[in-house]
């Protein structure tokens, strides 16, 4: 493989999917000098009322490319006072909100705010909406994408950032159905003004028999994002926007700790989605095509790492591709996969285990509580990780990072 800096034209990178992983990858790639185009099937960017966490492991690399100000403006810093509880309100222990050095890099984010911040930082014309990808082909020189309205595009690298139901995944591995977890999640937003006594700078999780409930702030603390996880025997659509039944949600947590019951009386509408993940895929790459984020390693939300791992993917991929010629791409993508897989495989598995803890299915309550306490050490290692530093060291380059 050519390990020398490519002095010719920029590598052309096509990203399929304008969600969190696709837009984050585009930002990292643009800042390393690539010619990047994002193809999004929706007519415009945006997602309805869903919250997520940006944790220290992804925030540190986002800040290095200029996102400290934007995320501070639209996010909600979460810190001391964050707690785990039993369903009756008995305190189990604190939720870790810092890395091992005490750096608090934990933000509650509205997805739409995060997407807007990522999109706003990209060059004009970088994102092309209304492009639903329907096909892919490649040869030794180039990769080609085909879209539903008849358009085509060529690139040196194609990144499939199109989610758990990825259209492009079948060009890498044999189709494999996502695995249903047996739970659905209700989610929504409540105005902080409706809950006068609520601490709007904390993450709180209540754990009960087969269920758990969490609340954290977004949009500068003006809104509270809630998620209620409940068991169901029926497989449900993996959708962020299916309308849920607020009365059914309230009934699922009747008799729980008073703050939850009170919050649910303020809910006017909610959404639900079925929770799916996948066992690790046999491969993420095929020639010039590479899977990223949920398309590569869909995981349950019980560590809050889905978006964060997609962000790490984009950062690492930009580093591995930097300085290479088009002919190098297939081998570079294999190296990238070998670098990322051990971490994402571990986090996928731990997200499953943590869901069992939260739903009190990992043994006695006392054992569960001990596991919650000891899991803080795993989270420290998760948050301490610096994907940029690790990738540069893997490639024998001196990290120019703090």
Task: Say if CB 322 and CB 32 are below 8 A apart.
Answer: yes
Answer whether residue 228 shows pLDDT above 70: yes
Span 104-158, pLDDT tens digits: 889 999 999 999 999 999 999 999 999 999 999 999 999 999 999 999 999 999 9
What pLDDT score does 28 carry? Answer: 98
- What is the sign, positive or negative, of the torsion defined by CA atoms of 150, 165, 270, 201? negative
Task: Give 245's pLDDT tier (boundaries 50, 70, 90).
Answer: confident
* Residue 279 exposure: Cα atoms within 13 Å on the Cβ side: 5
Answer whether residue 239 shows pLDDT above 90: no
What pLDDT score does 36 carry? Answer: 98
What pLDDT score does 93 carry? Answer: 93
What pLDDT score does 235 carry? Answer: 56
Percent of the chain past pLDDT 90, that is, above it, reads 76
What pLDDT score does 270 carry? Answer: 85
Q: Which fold has domain 12-177+278-392?
A: FAD/NAD(P)-binding domain (3.50.50)
What pLDDT score does 2 carry? Answer: 41
What pLDDT score does 182 carry? Answer: 83
Task: Say if CB 138 and CB 171 are below 8 A apart.
Answer: no
Answer whether residue 240 shows pLDDT above 70: no
Span 176-203, pLDDT tens digits: 888 888 888 999 999 999 998 888 899 9
Span 352-395, pLDDT tens digits: 999 989 988 777 888 998 989 888 889 999 999 999 999 999 99
Span 286-341, pLDDT tens digits: 999 999 999 999 999 999 999 999 999 999 999 999 999 999 999 999 999 999 99
What pLDDT score does 5 carry? Answer: 46
Token readout for 400 is 């120019």
What pLDDT score does 268 carry? Answer: 86
**66: three-class secondary structure by DSSP:** coil
- Tell me the average pLDDT of the chain: 91
Task: Say if CB 127 and CB 40 are below 8 A apart.
Answer: yes
Answer whether residue 175 shows pLDDT above 60: yes
- What is the sign, positive or negative, of the torsion defined by CA atoms of 153, 158, 163, 164? positive
What pLDDT score does 47 carry? Answer: 63
What pLDDT score does 43 carry? Answer: 85
Most confident of the following: 42-46, 73-77, 367-371: 73-77
Phi, psi of 258 (to 5 degrees): -55, -40
Token readout for 245 is 């039944």
Task: Give 48's pLDDT tier (boundaries 50, 70, 90).
Answer: low
What pLDDT score does 336 carry? Answer: 98
Strand order in the sheet with 76-77: 51-54, 107-110, 76-77
Answer whether residue 4 shows pLDDT above 50: no
Token readout for 207 is 């754990």
């Amino acid at each position: 493989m050519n390990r020398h800096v490519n002095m010719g034209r920029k590598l052309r990178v096509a990203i399929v999917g304008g969600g969190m992983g696709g837009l984050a990858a585009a930002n990292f790639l643009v800042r390393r000098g690539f010619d990047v185009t994002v193809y999004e099937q929706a007519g415009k960017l945006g997602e309805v009322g869903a919250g997520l966490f940006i944790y220290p492991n992804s925030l540190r690399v986002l800040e290095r490319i200029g996102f400290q100000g934007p995320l501070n403006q639209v996010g909600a810093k979460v810190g001391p006072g964050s707690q785990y509880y039993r369903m009756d309100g008995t305190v189990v222990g604190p939720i870790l909100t810092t890395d091992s050095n005490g750096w608090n890099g934990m933000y509650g984010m509205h997805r739409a705010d995060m997407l807007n911040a990522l999109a706003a930082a990209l060059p004009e014309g970088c994102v092309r909406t209304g492009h639903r990808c329907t096909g892919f082909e490649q040869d030794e020189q180039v990769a080609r994408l085909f879209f539903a309205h008849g358009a085509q595009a060529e690139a040196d690298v194609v990144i499939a950032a199109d989610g758990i139901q990825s259209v492009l995944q079948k060009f890498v591995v044999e189709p494999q159905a996502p695995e249903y977890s047996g739970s659905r999640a209700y989610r929504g937003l409540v105005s902080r003004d409706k809950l006068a006594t609520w601490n709007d700078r904390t993450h709180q999780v209540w754990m009960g028999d087969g269920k758990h409930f969490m609340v954290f702030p977004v949009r500068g603390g003006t809104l509270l994002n809630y998620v209620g996880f409940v068991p169901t025997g029926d497989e449900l659509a993996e959708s962020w926007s299916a309308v849920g039944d607020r009365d059914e949600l309230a009934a699922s947590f009747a008799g729980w700790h008073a703050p939850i019951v009170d919050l649910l009386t303020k809910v006017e509408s909610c959404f639900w989605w079925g929770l799916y993940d996948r066992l690790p895929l046999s491969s993420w790459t095929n020639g010039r095509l590479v899977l990223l984020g949920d398309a590569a390693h869909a995981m349950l939300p019980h560590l809050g790492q889905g978006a964060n791992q997609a962000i790490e993917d984009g950062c690492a991929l930009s580093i591995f591709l930097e300085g290479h010629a088009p002919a190098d791409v297939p081998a570079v993508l294999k190296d990238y996969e070998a670098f990322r897989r051990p971490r994402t495989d571990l986090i996928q598995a731990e997200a499953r285990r943590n869901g069992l803890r939260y739903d009190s299915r990992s043994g006695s309550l006392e054992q569960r509580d001990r596991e919650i306490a000891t899991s803080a050490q795993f989270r420290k290692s998760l948050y301490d990780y610096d994907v940029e530093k690790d990738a540069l060291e893997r490639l024998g380059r001196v990290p120019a990072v703090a």
